[in-house]
Structure formats: C-alpha cells, structure tokens
Amino acid sequence: MMLSKNEQKIYSRHLRLNEIGAEGQEKLKQAKVLVVGAGGLGCPVLQYLTAAGVGTIGIVDGDVVDVSNLQRQILYAFEDVGKAKAKCASNRLKSLNPFVKFKVYQEFLTNENALGLFKKYDIIVDGSDNFQTRYLCNDTAVITNKPLVFGSIFKFEGQVTVFNYNNGPTYRCLYPTPPSPGAVPSCSDIGVLGVLPGIVGSYQANETLKMILGIGEVLSGKLLTFNALTMNQMSFNFNKNEAINIQVLEDNYDVFCGLPQVDEEITLEVFNGKKMAYNLLDVRDHWERAQDSIGGKHIPLNELPARYTEIEINKPVVVYCKSGIRSKRAIEFLEAAIPNTSFINLKDGIG
C-alpha cells in the first residue's frame, strides 16, 4: 500500500524518523482502531490517531454533546450542543485528515454489539467513564483477543495501561471486582481539570501507535499514574492472574457492578406529556439546580436520609438527576425508607 504524494507531505515528520519511515507509515495506514467513547479521553485519542494516519478508526458513542463537555472535549463547539458526539467527531476529524476512513456507531457499547464490533478492529481504546463499560471492554477484548488501551481520570489524576497485550494482564487482574456503587464519583459529580483528559488521552494514543508500529516498550503489566498538580508520574507493575478465565460476557454489567436496579423508568418526553400525574424530585447538587432545572422538590442525594420525609407521596414520584445514575441510588434508598410508594426513575436524567 503506497502513500500518495499528499500523504507523504502530511506525514513527512514521521517519514524522517528511522523508527517509523515509509514502512511504519504504511502500517499505520493499514491499521484499524476502535475508540469506545468520544468524550474527554476519546477526543485527544481520536485527534492524534487521525493526525498520525491510522487508516480506519471506529467511533462508538451514543451520547450527544452537552455544553458542559466543552471545557475538556476539544473536538466540539457550541454549535454542536445537542448533536450526536460520534457524528460530530467524525465530521471534525475528516477535515483534519481526509485520508482516514471513519466508521461511526451512534450507540453505546452493550453486550449485544460489543463482540461484533471488536472483531472488526486490531486495537481497542477504552475512553469510557464508568465501570460497567470498562469491564465490558475488558471481557470483550479478552474473548476476541484484542489489546485494550485503558485510560481513566479522577479530578487531577490519571491512569494509563494496556490490557491483554500478547495475552498479558487484563483489567480484572488489576481490579478483580468493581468498587461499591458511589465509592468512586464521576467527573459530573466532583469535577475534573479540563486539561487532564488531554494528557491521559495523548498517552493512550501513544501506546496505540507504538503497538501498530512495533516500537518502544508497551505499557503491558504496568500502570502509569499521573498527577497534574504535582507533575509526579509513577509506574506500578502488576501480574497476570492465571486463575481468571474469561470465556463469556456477563449477563448484565450494571448488575455485576452493583448499580441499583429500578422497576420503573420514564423518559423526559413521556413525563412532559403528563406532568400532573406525578410529583417530581431532584436529587442533584445545589449548584446543578441553580444552573438548570425542570422543577420539583429539590433534595440533594446526600441529604436524603435526613430530609426524605419532606417528599410528597400522594402521587407517583419521578426522581431525576443529570444522567439517571444518582436518581437510581436515591430510589434504592427511598423504596426502603418509604415502602408502598411508587418511585420512577427519569431515564438518562436531564443531561
């Protein structure tokens, strides 16, 4: 597969590197990489893989752009708010490098689609922000025998490693069981330094390029940690647990990760059509309420144990938050505290 004259101009700085050259650049052109999540981590990964000339890039994300994403998800602009992330990302990336093919999957990764998607690609990059998707990515990568480039962020700190590289250690070797629900808050709950996912995502892109090119030392069996406040960077070794044998996917990764299960959910569209039939409870934080609200009683999740008696229960109660996760935890508590009362989760929250 020869490089065109325009491609040679674009990749000229790669071609001058003895470790890459024309042969390495052609390896990049033939490579197929699937990026799970086009958010904070996925954006820099996608930008650098596109700029480097990875031939085929798949983008899996069922989310839409929210204005709060713009602080760190650098592929998007104000005019993209409300639009599908995967599509917006591919449109932006096509203008960066017209020689890259993009496969857009406007859906979330699930048990139903994961195996089929992973089989089409050489390397998987996990840019997800929740434990159920991380375990699903890991298990699917093991079953399909694909290396998985992992990254995670928490406030000012990040982690990077590569799982299942040449049958090396996996995510479950490092984290055999998920943390208890709520033990590790999401960035929507506690915030994150905007530049951090750019740093960690760049590390993920670097690991991906090294594997494609066959150069350097891959971060397999090593967890790299980074602190943006102190600029300390450390690497920890971990071994493969031979006792872990992954042959099939879990039936339900939400259940596996201990997420509360609710009996009833309602979409915002359906709720808006019959508001008078319900009481409404907002369990978001005070600052979130000040920014945006669809009304109802406001009791932040951490205040529920002391204030749940304030809730009017003469009608079914629709409980909402930003994404539908905290509201599920609220319902789990409320169903035990106020039996014989109907609590309904607002599916996917108000965004």
Query: Measured between alpha carbons, how far is 238 from 86 in angstroms, rounded to an integer?
Result: 34
Q: Where are the beta strands (DSSP E) in 268-323?
A: 279-282, 297-298, 317-320
| pLDDT more than 90, % of the chain | 80
pLDDT in tens, 27-53: 999 999 999 999 999 999 999 999 999
Q: Evaluate if residue 66 carries a pLDDT over 70.
A: yes
Query: Measured between alpha carbons, how far is 181 from 325 in angstroms, rounded to an integer?
Result: 10
Report pLDDT for 316.
94
| pLDDT more than 70, % of the chain | 98
With H, G, I as helix, E, B as strand and everything else as coil, classify residue 176. coil
Report pLDDT for 2.
86
Tokens of 125: 């990059």
3-state secondary structure 178-237: CCCCCCCCCHHHHCECCCHHHHHHHHHHHHHHHHHHCCCCCCECEEEEEECCCCCEEEEE
Output 262 or 284, whichever has higher pLDDT: 284
pLDDT confidence bin for 222, thresholds 50/70/90: very high
pLDDT in tens, 130-171: 999 999 999 999 999 999 999 999 999 999 999 999 999 999
pLDDT in tens, 314-330: 999 999 998 888 898 89
Asked whether 1 and 26 are in contact (CB, 8 A), the reply is yes
Q: Evaluate if residue 189 carries a pLDDT over 90.
A: no
Contact partners, residue 171, CB within 8 Å, separation at least 6: 134, 135, 137, 138, 148, 150, 163
Q: In sequence order, what are the beta bridge partners of 160?
A: 151, 224
Domains and CATH numbers, the chain: 31-256 (3.40.50.720), 265-346 (3.40.250.10)
Chain-centroid distance of CA 230 in Å reads: 25
Q: In sequence order, what are the beta bridge partners of 328?
A: none
pTM: 0.83
Query: Measured between alpha carbons, how far is 18 from 28 in angstroms, rounded to an integer?
Result: 15
Report pLDDT for 48.
98
pLDDT confidence bin for 1, thresholds 50/70/90: low
pLDDT confidence bin for 182, thresholds 50/70/90: low
Query: Measured between alpha carbons, how far is 185 from 191 in angstroms, rounded to an integer?
Result: 9
Of 201, 191, 225, 189, give the one whose Cα is nearest residue 75. Answer: 201
Asked whether 158 and 196 are in contact (CB, 8 A), the reply is yes
Q: What is the mean pLDDT of the chain?
A: 93
Of 4, 37, 38, 35, give the one whose Cα is nearest residue 22. Answer: 4
Output 186 or 113, whichever has higher pLDDT: 113
Of 108, 68, 56, give the one whose Cα is nearest residue 84. Answer: 108
With H, G, I as helix, E, B as strand and everything else as coil, classify residue 278. coil
3-state secondary structure 50-111: HHHCCCEEEEECCCECCHHHHHCCCCCCHHHCCCEHHHHHHHHHHHHCCCCEEEEECCCCCC
